[in-house]
Chain A
């Protein structure tokens, strides 16, 4: 199947939006005060990256965002690792080191690619992502491998897709560790969501995302309009 660059950019935008939110959820719960601050900063970075990526979509052809995004959490094209709030620090570290770096590998490919709007607008992200990488890799070296890192690596490879051999090699090089042994059933792979696992973002997160988007575009709900004005 010929891959649409719009579909890829939307998936990257959705992944970064969810990654930013998940980072932010940990900004007062990491093992150290410094990591709290880093979590907040990285969260802001990735939310900003998501907005820039989404802003590129109108210049890449037909917008792949359909009406189903208003009501169906499964319409979001994020990796499954970001569906739910992380409950353990090693999940944060696995996402920070492996998934965030995988997204950066794809960003690098787009910046070096042939689509001019992506070559110019995405370049600045690479500078910011350098700090995410240093943070994630150091914590990964401190904590070592875990079930969370195995799952993150699996989902990163799935996200690259069946033709992602070059990206997989680059990810392992950057992390300075070999790709773990993986078993992927590509027959279950969803080419739009770039994952094999079913499921979707948790409902509270989805509702919050829809609320944020409504306010961003000035949509006023009837219930809001009827509320008395605050002094």
Chain B
């Protein structure tokens, strides 16, 4: 049995511990839809008591400058 969903999207996970902090990238999850991606993100990155966590589909990210191009 393969241990992955058949059709998945990759999501970047951002979180912050306090309102004054900026959101920072804490990791990624792969999931077949937005709902389950939320559940996976919350379960996987629970090392802090975050005041906010958001996920962004990796496909929605537009690269403006990449490493090596600056």
| A residues whose Cβ falls under 8 Å from a Cβ of B | 31-35, 37-38, 40-42, 131-132, 134-135, 137-139, 142
| A131 & B3 in contact (Cβ 8 Å cutoff) | no
Nearest CB of chain A from residue B12's CB, rounded to whole Å: 15
Question: How many interface residues does B have (CB within 8 Å)?
Answer: 18
Give residues in B with beta carbon < 8 Å to A. Answer: 1, 3-5, 29-33, 35-36, 38-40, 42-44, 46
Instruction: Summarize B's interface: helix, strand, loop or mixed.
Output: mixed
Q: Out of B31, B35, B46, which one reaches A34, CB within 8 Å? A: B31
List residues of chain B with CB within 8 A of the CB of A34.
Answer: 29-31, 40, 43-44
* A-B CB contact pairs (8 Å), 21 listed: A31-B1, A31-B3, A31-B5, A32-B5, A34-B30, A34-B31, A34-B43, A34-B44, A35-B40, A37-B43, A37-B44, A38-B43, A131-B38, A131-B42, A134-B35, A134-B38, A135-B35, A135-B36, A137-B35, A138-B35, A138-B36
Contacts of B29 in A (CB 8 A): 34
Smallest CB gap from A128: residue in B = B42
Number of A-B pairs, beta carbon distance below 8 Å: 48
Q: Give the residues in chain B near A33, CB-CB below 8 Å.
A: 3-4
Question: Smallest Cβ distance from A19 to chain B, in angstroms?
Answer: 16
Q: Is the Cβ of A32 less than 8 Å from the Cβ of B3? A: yes
From the candidates B1, B33, B42, name the one contacting A138 in the complex (CB within 8 A): B33
**A41 to B42, alpha carbons, bound, how many Å?**
9
Across-interface contacts of B43 in A (CB, < 8 A): 34, 37-38, 40-42, 131
User: Which of A35, A41, A139, A142 makes the CB contact (< 8 A) with B46?
Assistant: A41
- Please state if A37 and B40 are interface contacts (CB–CB under 8 Å): yes
A67 CB to nearest B CB, Å: 38
- A128 vs chain B, min Cβ distance (A): 9
Q: List 10 additional contacts besides A34-B29, A41-B43, A138-B35; criterion CB under 8 Å.
A: A31-B1, A32-B5, A33-B4, A34-B40, A42-B43, A131-B39, A131-B43, A138-B33, A138-B39, A142-B5
